[in-house]
């Protein structure tokens, strides 16, 4: 049994499933698998060489809009999310962060299947040196109540049409929007349409 499966069997299984659906992202998946097998706990933010975070693609009940945060520290419009802080169930981390950052009730994780993976650099800030975030992203669905509350993590929050996000200059955001809208389709064996279950 590999180190990654022993450390976090659920995430290891999810990464394997993601690779099957998105074989063209094999290099990215491999980087996440290697981190998962690291001897220093990659679920703790203290591992400054890089650590896991979780993102929430928080869609409206009709699936047409996403709730985005104007991130206070990074100064950019992004999906909600945050650090694992030791938790190995990344889907639950995504749900928790979405709830905390939006103030919305009635949120649900659409599936424990990974929606997207993104490795990105976080610049140095105050006493924290620059480091890598390995962001594991899941679809979170909002309920009928869309009246959010802006937390201290955000400068602002806004519901944006996903069709607009697909044209975003941020490659990560436009890629997720493209997947959601079905512009990018999984090509692995047994893959399902990216927009399955949205209607």
> Mind listing the pLDDT tens digit for each residue in 40-57?
999 999 998 899 999 999
Residue 89 structural domain? 3-181
Task: Provide the domain count of the chain.
Answer: 1
In a domain, 150, yes or no: yes
Q: Can you give the pLDDT at residue 71?
A: 76
The reply to whether 195 falls in a domain is: no
Q: Is 0.85 surpassed by the pTM of this model? A: yes
What CATH number does residue 151 fall under? Answer: 3.90.79.10
pLDDT-based confidence at 187, cuts 50/70/90? low
31 in a domain, yes or no? yes
pLDDT of residue 2: 53
Mean pLDDT of the chain: 88
Beta bridge partners of 69: 78, 157
Question: Is 41 among the domain residues?
Answer: yes
Sign of dihedral through CA atoms 45, 139, 164, 168?
Answer: positive
**Whether pLDDT at 14 is above 70:** yes
- How many Cβ atoms from other residues are within 10 Å of residue 182's Cβ? 12
In a domain, 173, yes or no: yes
- In the beta sheet, which residues pair with residue 121? 132
Q: How far apart are CA 38 and CA 48, in angstroms?
A: 13
């Amino acid at each position: 049994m590999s180190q990654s499966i022993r450390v976090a069997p659920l995430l290891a299984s999810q990464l394997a499933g993601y690779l099957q659906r998105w074989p063209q992202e094999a290099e990215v998946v491999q980087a996440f698998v290697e981190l998962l097998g690291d001897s220093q706990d990659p679920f703790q933010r203290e591992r400054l060489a890089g650590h896991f975070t979780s993102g929430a693609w928080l869609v409206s009940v009709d699936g047409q809009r996403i709730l985005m945060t104007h991130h206070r520290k990074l100064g950019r419009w992004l999906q909600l999310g945050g650090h694992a802080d030791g938790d190995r169930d990344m889907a639950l981390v995504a749900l928790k962060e979405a709830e905390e950052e939006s103030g919305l009730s009635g949120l649900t994780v659409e599936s424990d299947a990974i929606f997207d993976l993104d490795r990105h650099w976080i610049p140095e800030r105050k006493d924290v040196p620059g480091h890598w975030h390995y962001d594991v992203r899941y679809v979170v669905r909002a309920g009928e109540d869309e009246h959010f509350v802006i937390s201290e993590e955000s400068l602002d929050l806004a519901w944006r049409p996903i069709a607009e996000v697909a044209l975003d200059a941020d490659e990560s955001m436009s890629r997720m929007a493209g997947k959601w809208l079905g512009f990018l389709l999984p090509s692995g064996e047994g893959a399902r349409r990216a927009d399955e279950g949205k209607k």
